[in-house]
Each structure stands twice: as C-alpha cells, then as structure tokens.
Amino acid sequence: MAKSEEVKKLQEKQGLKEEFIEFINRGSMIDLAVGVAVGGAFTAIVNSLVNDIVMPIVGLLLGGVDFTGLALRIPNFFGTGDEAVIAYGNFIQHVVQFLVIAWVIFMVIKAMNRLNRRCDAKKAAKEAAK
C-alpha cells in the first residue's frame, strides 16, 4: 500500500508540474510579460519627454519655481542625532510631475483615439460603398 501512495503522490506532482507549464505557456501570461517589458520602455520615454521637454517649459511658465528645496526642519530636542526634515517641497514637485505626465499621456491617447476613429470611419465608408 505504501508504494501505491507514493505513485499517487508522484502522479500529483507530475500533474502539478504539467499544469504549471501549461499556465506559463498560456498566451495571456506571455502577453503580460511583453506588456510589462514594453511598459517599462514606454515609461522611460514618457519620463524623458516630461523631464527633458515639458518640465523646463513649465518651469519657465512658473518663473523657474522649484519646489524641491522646500522643507520643514524639526530640531532634535533630545540632543542626539540630526534634525528631522519633512521635505514637503519634494512631494509637491512629484505631484506636479505626475500631473504633467498624466496630461501628456492623456493627450497622446486622445490623439490616438482620434486617429483610430478616422480610420474606422474610412473603413465603414469603404464597406458602405461596396
């Protein structure tokens, strides 16, 4: 009886291995991996667009305001160590960058949707003409 139980456990392990391989080889898993890789590359492009092109223009419009230096310094009342620094300016800068990134992505998606609608309208017109 012990051997039959070992055989069952071995078959279950083999089944689990095959099921895992099937899961990994599914199209959706591969699509996800490709999406993550492309998303990482796209993130670099968007960050460069925002940091190198858009933010300098925003800085000019705001008069060169840079929020990263703003901070609240709390002295150490216990006499040991450094003061605590709450860098709220850095947080504000990141919020502004997020809003700019979100706006740029929105405008790109809006333009892509407009182009897709035009292409769909042309296809529909060709189908209607037939």
- Start-to-end CA distance of the chain, whole Å, equals 73
Contact between 101 and 58 (Cβ < 8 Å): no
| Separation CA 55–CA 62 (nearest Å) | 10
Q: Are residues 45 and 84 in the same domain?
A: no
Least confident of 30-39, 62-71, 95-104: 62-71
Q: Is the pLDDT of residue 62 over 80?
A: no
Residue at which a domain ends, from 36, 60, 84: 60
Domain that holds residue 111: 66-130
Q: Are residues 18 and 52 in the same domain?
A: yes
Domain count, the chain: 2
The phi, psi pair for 85, rounded to 5°, reads -120, 120
Q: Are residues 54 and 101 in the same domain?
A: no
Q: Are residues 46 and 78 in the same domain?
A: no
What is the average pLDDT score of the chain?
82
Q: Are residues 38 and 75 in the same domain?
A: no
Residue at which a domain ends, from 11, 42, 60: 60
Q: Are residues 55 and 115 in the same domain?
A: no
Q: Write down the pLDDT at residue 113.
A: 93
Query: What would the pLDDT profile of 100-115 be if each residue is shown by its tens digit?
Result: 888 888 988 899 999 9
Proportion of the chain above pLDDT 70, given as a percent: 90
Contact between 55 and 103 (Cβ < 8 Å): no
pTM, to two decimals = 0.54
